[in-house]
Structure 1
Amino acid sequence: MPNPVAYARTAWRMVRVLRDPTQLQDILDLAGVLAPPIAMRRLVERLMQHAPAAQAFIERPRLGLLHLASLRTLPEGTLGRAFADHLVENGLDPDALPYLEAHTDEEYVRAHMLESHDIWHVLTGFHTDVAGELGIQAFSLAQVGSPFALGILAGGLTNTLLYAFSERDVRMRAIVRGWLLGRRARLLFGAPWRQMWERPLAEVRQHYGLDLAAVEAVLPGGAHPAQSC
C-alpha cells in the first residue's frame, strides 16, 4: 500500500532541491526515486557490455578510508595530491559521505559512483558550484547513462528557469562540456583509484582520453554576460 508520508517527504525533498541544488543529503535521498531498481538493473546490464566495467563488478574496487594528510605529501601534479587539494580547498570532508554497502551489482554502482564523484571533478576540471555539478552529471550521463544523472540535470535546468535564469549560459556551457568529455573519454566506471594516487594527473587524463583542451577548443569562448529578461 502506498505510503502517503513517504510520498510527502519525497515531494518536499524535490522542492528543496529545486530551490537549492546544493542540498547534498536531499539529492542522495532522492537516488531511489530517480534511479529505481529496474533502471539500476538496466544500467548494470549496459555496463556489463564493457570489459573494464565487467571486471570491476568482479573485483569491486572501493576507495576505502582516505588519509588526507598522507595524500597531501604526494608530489604536486599527482592524482592523489590534486584530489586531496580539491577536497581541502572546497571544504569537503570525505568522512562526511555515507559509506554505502555493495553486496549487489546495483549497490556497487551507487557506492562506486558516490566515491568517485570528486575524483571525476578533479579529472574533468569542473568546479563544485552548481554549473560544475551539472557538468559532472552531464559527464556521468554520457559515460554510463545514469538515470540519476538525468534526473539531477532536469532538476538543475528547472532551478535555472525558476531561480537562476541569469546563469543559463554558464550552466549550459558546463552541461555541453561535460557531455562532450564523457562521450569522448574511455569509461571511468570501476577504475581502481587507490592504485593511481601516485600517477601524474596528466597521465591519468591521457589514459582515459580526457582531452580537456580539445573539448574547450570546440566550445564557444567564456560565458556571455548575463542579460536581463
Structure 2
Amino acid sequence: MTQNADRQYTRMFAADGTVLLHPDRPQAKYRPLRAVRNFQILVRDKEDTAAVFRIFESLPSKDLLPRVAALALSERGAHLRQTEPCLPEILDDHAALRRTPKGSLAHAYCDFMEAEGLTAAGLVAESDRAGRPRFPDLVEWYINRSRDTHDMFHVLTGYGRDALGEQCVLLFTHGQAPSQGHLLIGYAGAANIKKMVKRTNAPVFGAVREAHRIGKGAPPLIDQPIRQLLERPLEDVRAALRIPHPVLYRECHRAWQAEGIDPYDLLSSRDAAEQPELLAA
C-alpha cells in the first residue's frame, strides 16, 4: 500500500475521536533480508520472541489497515475497546479467572500459562524489546490485541509450545489474519523441523497445513469478546469458533514418541545428534 493510499486512514476516527492511523506513524517497509536474519535467530532460540516481532515488522501485511478499519470503526470494535481496553490486565488476573466454573476457557488458560511460566505482561515486554515505536491510534490497539491473544490460540487449538506447535499456531493465525511473517516462520520452521528429524513417519507438513486450514475456517479471535469467552466451557468455545482437535499434530507427537524422539526437544533426537551442522545453523 502506497503512502498516498495510507493517508486516507489518517482522516478516519472512532466515535471517541481516536484516529485510525496516526500521521506520525512511519510507513511500514518491506525488508525481507531483515526478516530472514531474524528467522535464523529464531531457529537458534525459539524463545526469542522479540525476533518474531521483528519478522512481522519486516514483512508488513498490505491488508492490515483495511482489517483495522473494519473492526476498530465498527460497533463491535467500539464495544471491545470500551469493555476490554487492556487484555493483559484481564488475562494476568488469574485469581479472577479461577472464579469461573471448572472446565472454562479461563481455567484452561490459567493452567497453560502457569505450567509454561508465562504471563501476558511478559509478552508485552518482549514486544517492547523489539523496539517498535508506539502511537495513540487504532492500529496500535489492533496490533496489541493481536499480540495479547496469541497464547490463547495455544489453548483453543491444542497446539503446545514445542517447535511444531508454535509453527502450527502461527499458520492458524495466518489463516485468520494473513501476513507473510506467519507464512515464513510457519512453513520455513516446519522445513527446519524436517531437516532436524529426517527419518520419521511424522506428518510435519500435513500438521502445519491442517493448522492453516483450521485458522481459515474459524472466525477471527481478535473480533470476539474475550472476557465473555473466558467464562464459557472450553469445548463450547472451540465448537462456537469451529476449532476441531488437531489430528495431524497429535499424530506427529505419537510418531516421534514411538521413534524415541522428544517432541519438546527435537535437537536432542537421534537424527539431530547425527547432524551437528544443524545445531550450529
- State the TM bucket, normalised to the shorter chain: 0.7 to 0.9
Q: Find the partner of 2:120 among 57, 76, 94.
A: 94
Distance 2:210 2:159 in 1: 10
Distance 2:200 2:186 in 1: 15
Matches within 5 A, 1:55-94: 55-59=75-79, 60=81, 61=84, 62-65=86-89, 66-94=92-120
Distance 2:238 2:65 in 1: 25
**Matching residue's letter, 1:94:** A
Alpha-carbon contact 2:68-2:139 (below 8 Å) kept: no
Higher RCO (CA < 8 A, seq sep 6+): 1
Matches within 5 A, 1:84-123: 84-98=110-124, 103-123=136-156
Unaligned runs of 5+ in 2: 1-31, 128-133, 260-269, 275-281
TM-score normalized by structure 2?
Answer: 0.63
Number of aligned residue pairs: 215
Distance 1:205 1:52 in 2: 24
Shift in Å at residue 47 of structure 1?
6.2
1:33 match: 58
Matches within 5 A, 1:1-229: 13-35=38-60, 39=61, 42-46=63-67, 48=69, 54-59=74-79, 60=81, 61=84, 62-65=86-89, 66-98=92-124, 103-160=136-193, 162-165=195-198, 169-212=202-245, 216=247, 222-223=251-252, 224=255
| Worse overlay, 180-189 or 156-165 | 156-165
Equivalent pairs: percent with the same residue?
A: 24
Alpha-carbon contact 1:19-1:159 (below 8 Å) kept: no
Distance 1:183 1:154 in 2: 16
TM-score normalized by structure 1?
Answer: 0.75
| Worse overlay, 136-145 or 18-27 | 18-27
| Structure showing greater Rg | 2
SS in 2 for 1:149: helix
Alpha-carbon contact 1:141-1:150 (below 8 Å) kept: yes
Aligned-residue CA RMSD (Å)? 3.5
CA deviation profile, 1:40-81 (whole Å, cap 9, x unmatched): x522314656x7994454443441412123323433210111
**Matching residue's letter, 1:78:** S
CA deviation profile, 1:88-146 (whole Å, cap 9, x unmatched): 11221333122675733432332111100111111111111111111111111111212
1:4 match: none
